[in-house]
Amino acid sequence: MTALSASVSLTWPGGPLRGTAQVPASKSESNRALIIQALAEGGQLANLSDANDTQLMQRLLQEKDAATFDAEDAGTVMRFLTAYLAMTGRQTELRGTARMHERPIAVLVDALRQLGARIEYLGEEGYPPMRLLGRTPQPATEEADFTELTVRGDISSQYISALLMVGPMLPHGLRIWLTGKVGSRPYIRMTLALMRHFGAHCRDLGEVLEVRPEPYQPTNYTVEGDWSAASYWYAMVALAPAGSHLTLPTLRRHSWQGDQAIVGIMEKLGVQTEFLADETVRLTQIAPAASLAQDFTDCPDLAQTVAVLAAALGVPTEMTGLESLRIKETDRIAALQNELAKFGGALTDAGEGVFRVAAENFRVAGQTVATYHDHRMAMAFAPLALRGPLTIQAPQVVRKSYPQFWRELEKTGFTTDPAPAPVF
C-alpha cells in the first residue's frame, strides 16, 4: 500500500492472533509536551509520536517568523498554537483545511482576548482562519490575585488545556472557573500533570483550575505509548479465534491518559489485561458480558472502536457522552451509522444523549468501508477483517495518529492488498 492508495483490502488467514504489536507514542502527550517545552525554552523529549499531528506541531513550533501557520486537520495543533502564538505576541495568520474551518474556536478566542490577545477572524465569525495581531500585556500589579476566566466545561477540553498551558507566563497566573458539565476531564488532568513535570504550580479544585505565575523549567520527558491506538488491538483480540493473545509495549499501569479506560471497557467486551513489569500489557481473550452501558464523556476517542466491536460481537450496548463526536474530523456519529449499516449493525439515537448499538445478522463479507477523512474510522473497522474480508477506503488517513498501523497489521499476520509501505 502506497501513501496514495485508494483503498486497502484486508484478510485474516485463520488461526489465533498472537505476537507483539507496537503502538505509537501518545499524540496527546506529545503535543502538550511540545508546547510546554517551547514555553520552558529547553528540555529533551523522548519517544515523541510519529503521528502527522505531532510532526506538524514540531515543525510549526520551529518556524519562528512564518507569515502563515497551517494546522491542516489537526485539532490540537489549531487550538494549542492559537493560544501559544497569541500569548507569545506573534503576528501571523493561522489556518487549516476546509473541515478545520468548520470547527468552532470562538470559546478559546474570546478567552484569549480577555487575556490581552488581539485576534480577528478572516472568514466566518467564530471559526478559523484567523489573524493574530499580537498581545496587549497585562500590568503586573501587587494587588491583583489570579487573572480569572469563566469557561464552559462542555466544550472541547483542548480549549481548556490550551489556556492552562499559557497560564504560567501571565503576570498573575490564571484561574479558570468551569461551568456546567465538564467533558474529557482526564485530558485536563494530563495537561496539569505535564505542566507540573516542567515545574509549573497548578491545581485542580474541581470547578476551579489554578495556575500560578511561575515559569516553566527546562525538563526531560519520555512520552508513553498511546492508549487510543491500543484500543484497536483490544478489538482484534476480542474478534480473533479462540486462544488469541497479544502483547503491547510502552503502556503504563499508572497512565495520565483517559483512554486507559479501554482496560475496563474491554473486560466486558472479551479482553483481559495483564500489566507486566516492563511497561507492557498482555491481552487475553475472555468471554464478553451480556450487555454494556458506557459513558464516553471522558474518553470520546474510544467510542468508534467500542461501537463497531459491540455490533460485531452482538453485545447490546448503550452509549452516552458522545456530544463531541459531531465536531471531530467528521460527524463521527453519522459516519458510524452509515458504515455499521453495511454489516447489519446499527447505532440508534434513543434521545436525551443516549445511543444504542445493536446488530441483526452482523456479517463481514467483502464490504467497503468509507473513512470520511477520519483516521479512527479506518482503524475502528479494520479489526472486522478477523471475521471476513473487507476493504478500507483512503487508508492513508491513519497518518494522523498511527502511520505504521497497516504495517503492524501485516506483522501480526493480516494480509493487506496492496502490501503496506510507510505512510508519511
- Residues comprising the binding site for 3-phosphoshikimate? 27-28, 32, 156-158, 184, 301, 328
DSSP assignment of 391-412 equals: EEESGGGGGGT-TTHHHHHHHT
Buried b (16+ CB within 10 A) or exposed e, 151-163: bebebbbbbbbbb
Q: Distance between CA atoms of 34 and 114, rounded to whole angstroms?
A: 25
Residues 188/157, Cβ–Cβ less than 8 Å: yes
Does residue 301 carry a catalytic annotation?
yes
Cite the annotated binding site by residue number.
27-28, 32, 75, 103, 156-158, 184, 301, 328, 332, 376, 400
On whether the CB atoms of residues 362 and 312 are closer than 8 A, the answer is yes
DSSP three-state, residue 74: coil
Catalytic position from the list 301, 349, 374, 417: 301
Work out the angle at residue 277's Cα, subtended by the Cα atoms of residues 274 and 282, and round it to the nearest 5 degrees: 30
| C-alpha dihedral (277, 283, 285, 288), degrees to nearest 10 | 100
Nearest to 386 by CA among 229, 226, 233: 233
**What's the one-letter identity of residue 278?**
D
The alpha carbon of 305 is separated from its chain's Cα centroid by a whole number of angstroms, namely 13
Q: Which residues are annotated as a binding site for phosphoenolpyruvate?
A: 27, 75, 103, 158, 332, 376, 400
**318: amino acid identity, one letter:** E
In whole angstroms, give the CA distance from residue 265 to residue 359: 19
Question: What is d(CA 408, CA 364) in angstroms, rounded to the nearest whole number?
Answer: 22
- Catalytically annotated residues: 301
